Amino acid sequence: MTSSSSIQQAREALGKRLREIRKDSGLTARELASRAGWHESKCSRIENGRTTPSDEDLSVYTQHCGAGGQTADLIATARNIEGAYVEWRRMERSGLRRAQESVIPLWERTRHFRAYSSWLIPGPLQTRAYIEALLTSIRDRRSLPDDLEAAVQVRVDKQRVLHEGGRRFAVILEESVLRHRIGGAETMAGQLGHLLSLATLPNISLGIVPLSADRSALWPVEDFWIFDEAQVNVELVSAFLTITQPHEVSMYAQTFADLAELAVYGAAARTLVTAAIDSVG
């Protein structure tokens, strides 16, 4: 799916949802347009996904349909459409540095970070050597312009969020992440040792979901970050997904809480990391 087709499908889904709200209210499209002071074709354009409605459009629409309780969620949906699905090739067309810089404003305004990973050690907890190994692989696999050194430095510099602003970090990793060898034995051993060190910081909670955990109710899912209660970022193979709809953010928050119930912490988590270090040699 391309980013353009994804955006169009999102517009159409929003339009369908609005059409259902209007029909539930008993209004025709012409009646709603008349009450809103719109040209009668405007409802049709919005409901058929040809136009993304503005915040004001949605407020007026829900007001006249008696659905004011849905306004905030609809506005979040509309705002999210254009930027929700961004292909890596679009974000990285000038190299890796831009992608690394793109999240800096979000990181700086966030105070509570929640991260889950079944693939890799999350960015703020990575060593420089681990970062270099990851970004080298991405550069080569996607045939990107070579700005590796600058991109690595941006990611290293972003890690200041760990120590500034009273931010809190809750990180949950699948135990398998500790065994995915990135950058060779020396790099991986250094990364795992760094993880142990960071886990001692008072503002970082590290949970590990053991391989022995019963996953009948909840199996490993895609890697995701939750930023306060405002936004979720998900990394897919082909694209970067941004989620801001409140009900979807809540779903990820609940999934994170459920995964947290499966994880072990403290000495038990350190034992798993130490065992992974021992296995590297």
Q: How do residues 55-106 score in pLDDT, each as one tens digit?
A: 999 999 999 999 999 999 898 888 777 667 677 887 888 899 998 998 999 9
The gap from C-alpha 27 to its chain's centroid, in whole angstroms, comes to 38
Q: What is the pLDDT of residue 1?
A: 37
Q: What is the pLDDT of residues 207-226, one digit of tens each?
A: 999 999 999 999 999 999 99
Task: Indicate whether 7 pLDDT > 80.
Answer: no
The contacts found for 209-215 with CB under 8 angstroms, 24 or more apart, are 209/172, 209/173, 209/174, 209/175, 209/259, 209/262, 209/263, 209/264, 210/175, 210/264, 210/272, 211/174, 211/175, 211/176, 213/262, 215/262
pLDDT higher at 99 or 170: 170
Query: How confident is the model over 153-181, as a mean pLDDT?
Result: 96
3-state secondary structure of 225: strand
Q: What is the pLDDT of residues 110-153, one digit of tens each?
A: 999 999 999 999 999 999 999 999 999 999 999 999 999 999 99
Q: What is the pLDDT of residue 11?
A: 86
What does the alpha-carbon distance between residue 227 and residue 87 come to, in Å, rounded to a whole number? 21
Query: How confident is the model over 233-259, as a mean pLDDT?
Result: 89
Most confident of 208-212, 235-239, 246-250: 208-212
Q: What is the pLDDT of residue 83?
A: 64
Tokens of 201: 């910081």
pTM of the model: 0.76
Mean per-residue pLDDT over the chain, rounded: 92
Q: What is the pLDDT of residue 128?
A: 98
Task: Indicate whether 2 pLDDT > 90.
Answer: no
3-state secondary structure of 271: helix
3-state secondary structure of 204: strand
